[in-house]
Chains A and B, each alone.
Chain A
Amino acid sequence: MKVNEVPQDNAFLQEETEICLRDRYYALDEEGKFREVPSVGWKPKNAAIQFAWNNREEEADKIREQVVQGKLSPLAYHMERLLMTPAILSKYAGLSRRKIVRYCKPKYFSKIKPEELSCLAVALNINVEELISID
């Protein structure tokens, strides 16, 4: 890769943030020496990230449908949306994995204790009202 070929395709990085995240490429200059060039992104990489997220959203929408039909609880929807799995969430929330799998069913979710509900909300970085709704 030549210095003038370093891609600058921004998709996700905000310009004005204080920390100013950047990639950095090692590219060849005209004399065949490596130079460091900061970059804001590259299309194929952005496409891969975007694809993974779009897919996640589609999966979450499917689960949302099932929540509407009363087959799953809102917890299942928020977990899918926020990239959580029962195993990881159990570590963050301090509840057993088994319990979290149970709470994905409406029957058990309706009987959840308030403390456990707030534990889950904190672990998911959302508030309790959001956790019990699917908007």
Chain B
Amino acid sequence: MQIDFEHRHAAHCENGVVRNLLNFYGIKLSEPMVLGLGSGIFFSHMPFYKMHGMALTSFRPFPGTIFTRVTKALGIDIQWHKFKNPDKSMDKLDEILFQRIPVGLRVGAYNLSYFPKEYRFHFNAHNLCVIGKEGDEYIISDPVGMNKHRLSSADLKKVRFAWGTSPPKGRMYYIKSLDNYRPLDEEMIDKATRKTCSDMLHIPFPMFGAQGIAYLARRMRKWEKLYGKRGAALNLAQVIRMLEEIGTGGAGFRFMYAAFLQEASEFLNRPLWNNLSMELSETGDLWRDFSYHAARFFKKREGEIGSYDDLAHKLEVISEREIDIFTRLEKSIKRE
């Protein structure tokens, strides 16, 4: 049994799953639009929340929020399930799947057999979509792959019950009904963008939002003292991986969000947003410049590399510019 489901490659796994699911129900949205409606751009650096023993730096909100926000905005009824028992989770998956409903799953990357060895670390926020079952094999549509793929039920069970930081616990989600569906309009985009700006600007802790980038810069200046040379470089590697690892569309979603602003500016006929889009794209280039310089820390022996102060300074510049961009974006909505 295989559902007639159009598999499309996407930059980010969650956006991709959401877009492909909506597309299955005849709702055509682009990936940047999904990101925009889901307020999927964010920044946080949390030294108290560890992954692989290092502070977690994240460029996105908590996994699952994009799907919830997008469907809520469009008035689509959805269903989430979470399980304690792996066998029950597979039974439930079959039950829904055989009603010919594609199901989104949150999985861990550690045991995901088709990932190259280098990508398989304890990262538990990967998303994929199950679209069919043949014998003991599930047909899956993973948006980071160009093609569909198959996974045996034992493998799927393993990745659904991965362990580590924020375990997925067999989470699955699907669209229940479109009875209250509203097509995309100006109000939705404004509301989602206001939410994005609020997340980026007004969380009253230093480690979240655009100010969080400056917070990371301040931490970075202390890294060598705190963790030693090697530890500091490892922390830096972790940041770069989060920034560029499969699924951000480059520079931690900055380019993708810029693409959203451009699309929205055409849709709503707001030329200002196109200008903001270009500026955000420039900060994306600054992020890439940061990664480029950071990469030197991983190659050369001591003495030839720059200092963490230089890198931290780059981040401070980015932080300032992003604060400026999102402030203007927020104002542009309030005025109208």
Q: Which residues of A contact B (CB under 8 A)?
A: 1, 11-14, 17-28, 32-34, 36, 38, 42-45, 47-53, 55, 83, 85, 88, 91-92, 125
Contact = CB atoms under 8 A, between A and B. Distances in A.
A1 B284 contact: yes
A19 B114 contact: yes
Nearest to B244: A45
B11 A24 contact: yes
A22 B114 contact: no
Contacts of B147: 18-20
A18 B240 contact: no
Nearest to A24: B11
Contact of B233 (A33, A51, A83, A91): A51
A52 B240 CA distance: 11
A43 B295 contact: yes
B115 interface: yes
Contacts, number: 132
7 contacts: A19-B147, A21-B115, A26-B249, A38-B146, A51-B237, A52-B234, A83-B122
B241 A21 contact: no
A49 B116 CA distance: 12
Interface in B110-124: 110-111, 114-119, 121-122
Contact of A88 (B122, B146, B245, B294): B122
B234 A34 contact: no
Contacts of B230: 55
A83 B111 CA distance: 12
Contacts of B117: 12
Nearest to A53: B118
Interface stretch (B87-95, B205-213, B214-222, B285-293): B285-293
A45 B291 contact: yes
Contact of A28 (B118, B148, B281): B281
Nearest to A25: B250
4 closest Cβ pairs, A-B complex: A44-B295, A19-B145, A91-B163, A51-B298
Contact of B10 (A17, A24, A48, A51): A24
B119 A24 contact: no
B255 interface: yes
A24 B10 CA distance: 7
A36 B118 contact: no
Given A26-B11, A55-B234, A88-B163, 5 more contacts: A18-B149, A21-B246, A36-B11, A42-B244, A48-B241
A21 B145 contact: yes
B64 interface: no
B259 interface: yes
Contacts of A22: 9, 144-146
A77 to B, nearest CB: 17
